């Protein structure tokens, strides 16, 4: 019989442990014990590839191929969940779990977790603490504000330091599984320490993690690449910039709910989109860089609004900013810049161009030194060492942009 006495209410990776949350079904609702006996099965999913595989990968996988890793009592916590913890897990591995109550033949599951390095994927609380630390460390002109709330009502906090008249804007994780807080906040912290005098002349503002809910899901182990917010809206298609144009990039359709590039029910419908609009309107940056690519890193591949293609004065200015940023990554004389009209209707760069004429860029993948190593980000496998290397590139790149802006 397929009926089960329990269900798995969730799974999370926190501080080195996987937590499997089990709740009682109807037939066990009157049990008062603080312990129940469970069998826990686990299978390591080495073929699962983040960014290629989604939920369908785990549909109908067979628990009989899993290993029985525990049999015995599991404690009830907070008078609700029975929590099984597993410390025997490694970074960059994906695990499926099943749980069975003592009399059940068939276990509930699978519940799947991807174990991500918290040094590479910062938690929401770490992002908040880092913003506060930078704010406290910088003695000059500064402001820290909540520009809006995420769908699940997390505060979306932005920080500005330095001269408010000439600001470089940095926006992170418009797409949850991509880049932002780790690169941009680390770079800002480096700049405050290493060249604070530059900030007397020019400023930096950051909205580090726009799709904060999707990002936190990934931090806690949600296995799939997350692009959209909890309403299934691609925030980079939701802005009021030629929004009515349907786009078919990646073979997807922006007008269909369930498509990974769904633009939302109307322009600016999402809370996160509204927060970015408030941030841009308040700061009025001279240039905006958005972290994209994947798994906490991006490089000097600059995508701007398709709608800006014929505006040569705008692009001359944009190329100056991109040339400066590129200097953080490579010898521009030898390798040139990568400047692409790649941003579609509803994107941040299209909105910044169409409403304010601000040059704005989604930063994507471009190999720097060791392409095979750097491409590991595509499947979510960025290591701490790789992130550290990219923080250096971004710190230098942003300093070059600030120096250029100072002269303007
Ligand atoms: Zn993206």
pLDDT, tens digit, 9 for 90 and up, residues 335-360: 999 999 999 999 999 999 999 999 99
pTM, to two decimals: 0.97
Considering the domain architecture, whether residues 134 and 110 belong to the same structural domain is answered as: no
Q: Note the pLDDT of residue 252.
A: 93
Ligand 1 center from residue 137 Cα (angstroms):
31
389-402: average pLDDT: 98
Considering the domain architecture, whether residues 139 and 189 belong to the same structural domain is answered as: yes
Last residue of a domain, one of 91, 114, 137: 114
Does the residue 119 lie in any domain? Answer: no
Measure the CA–CA gap between 398 and 63, rounded to whole angstroms. 50
Strands 155-162 and 142-149: antiparallel
Which domain covers residue 130, as residue numbers?
Answer: 124-407
Ligand 1 center from residue 88 Cα (angstroms):
33
Has residue 1 got a pLDDT over 80?
no
Say if residues 191 and 159 touch (Cβ distance below 8 Å).
no
Ligand 1 center from residue 294 Cα (angstroms):
8
Considering the domain architecture, whether residues 158 and 208 belong to the same structural domain is answered as: yes
Ligand 1 center from residue 10 Cα (angstroms):
27
Say if residues 70 and 38 touch (Cβ distance below 8 Å).
yes
pLDDT-derived band of residue 373, with 50, 70 and 90 as boundaries? very high
Q: What proportion of the chain, given as a percentage, has pLDDT over 70?
A: 100
Considering the domain architecture, whether residues 189 and 303 belong to the same structural domain is answered as: yes
Ligand 1 center from residue 64 Cα (angstroms):
38
Domain CATH code at residue 313: 3.40.630.10
Q: Note the pLDDT of residue 325.
A: 98
Considering the domain architecture, whether residues 79 and 201 belong to the same structural domain is answered as: no
pLDDT in tens, 73-130: 999 998 899 999 999 999 999 999 999 998 899 999 999 999 999 999 999 999 999 9
Last residue of a domain, one of 70, 87, 114: 114
pLDDT in tens, 32-72: 899 999 999 999 999 999 999 999 999 989 999 999 999 99
Does the residue 270 lie in any domain? Answer: yes
Has residue 334 got a pLDDT over 80?
yes
Considering the domain architecture, whether residues 388 and 248 belong to the same structural domain is answered as: yes
Domain CATH code at residue 18: 2.60.40.10
How far is residue 96 CA from its own chain's centroid? 23
Ligand 1 center from residue 174 Cα (angstroms):
7
Does the residue 282 lie in any domain? Answer: yes
Smallest CA-to-CA distance from 151 within 255, 242, 238, 50 is with 238
Q: Note the pLDDT of residue 79.
A: 84
Considering the domain architecture, whether residues 67 and 146 belong to the same structural domain is answered as: no
Has residue 24 got a pLDDT over 90?
yes
Considering the domain architecture, whether residues 128 and 110 belong to the same structural domain is answered as: no
- Per-chain mean pLDDT for the chain: 97
What Cα–Cα distance (Å) separates residue 240 from each residue in 82, 271, 351? 46, 13, 6
Ligand 1 center from residue 222 Cα (angstroms):
18
Considering the domain architecture, whether residues 72 and 163 belong to the same structural domain is answered as: no
Ligand 1 center from residue 199 Cα (angstroms):
29
Ligand 1 center from residue 215 Cα (angstroms):
13
Considering the domain architecture, whether residues 82 and 150 belong to the same structural domain is answered as: no
Considering the domain architecture, whether residues 156 and 27 belong to the same structural domain is answered as: no
177-186: average pLDDT: 98
Number of independent structural domains in the chain: 2
Last residue of a domain, one of 96, 114, 132: 114
Has residue 302 got a pLDDT over 90?
yes
Considering the domain architecture, whether residues 264 and 206 belong to the same structural domain is answered as: yes
Ligand 1 center from residue 379 Cα (angstroms):
14
Ligand 1 center from residue 41 Cα (angstroms):
36
Does the residue 1 lie in any domain? Answer: no
């Amino acid at each position: 019989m397929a009926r089960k006495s329990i269900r798995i209410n969730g799974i999370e990776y926190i501080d080195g442990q996987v937590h499997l949350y089990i709740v009682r079904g109807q037939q066990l609702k009157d049990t008062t014990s603080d312990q129940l006996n469970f069998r826990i099965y686990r299978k390591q999913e080495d073929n699962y590839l983040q960014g290629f595989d989604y939920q369908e990968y785990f549909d109908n996988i067979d628990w009989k191929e899993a290993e029985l890793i525990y049999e015995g009592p599991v404690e009830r916590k907070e008078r609700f969940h029975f929590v099984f913890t597993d410390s025997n897990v490694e970074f960059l591995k994906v695990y499926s779990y099943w749980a069975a109550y003592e009399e059940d033949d068939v276990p509930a599951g699978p519940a799947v977790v991807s174990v991500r390095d918290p040094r590479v994927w910062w938690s929401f609380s770490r992002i908040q603490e880092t913003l506060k630390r930078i704010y406290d460390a910088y003695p000059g002109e500064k402001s820290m504000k909540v520009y809006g709330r995420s769908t699940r009502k997390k505060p979306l906090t932005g920080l500005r330091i330095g001269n408010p008249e000439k600001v470089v804007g940095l926006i992170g994780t418009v797409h949850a599984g991509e880049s932002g807080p780790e690169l941009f906040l680390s770079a800002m912290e480096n700049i405050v320490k290493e060249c604070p005098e530059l900030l007397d002349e020019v400023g930096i503002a950051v909205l580090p993690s726009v799709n904060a809910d999707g990002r936190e899901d990934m931090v806690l182990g949600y296995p799939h690449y997350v692009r959209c917010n909890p309403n299934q809206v691609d925030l980079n298609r939701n802005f009021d910039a030629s929004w009515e144009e349907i786009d078919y990039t990646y073979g997807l359709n922006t007008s269909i709910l369930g498509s990974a590039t769904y633009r939302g029910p109307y322009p600016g419908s999402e809370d996160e989109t509204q927060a970015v609009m408030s941030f841009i309107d308040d700061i009025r940056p001279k240039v905006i860089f958005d972290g994209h690519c994947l798994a906490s890193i991006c490089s000097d591949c600059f995508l701007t609004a398709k709608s800006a293609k014929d505006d040569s004065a705008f692009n001359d200015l944009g190329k100056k900013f991109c040339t400066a940023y590129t200097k953080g990554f490579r010898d521009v004389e030898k390798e040139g810049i990568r400047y692409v009209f790649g941003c579609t209707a509803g994107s941040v760069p299209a909105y910044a161009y169409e409403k304010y004429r601000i040059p704005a860029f989604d930063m994507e993948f471009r190999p720097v030194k060791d392409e095979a190593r750097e491409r590991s980000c595509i499947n979510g496998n960025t290591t701490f060492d790789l992130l550290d290397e990219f923080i250096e590139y971004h710190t230098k790149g942003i300093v070059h942009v600030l120096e250029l802006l100072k002269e303007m």
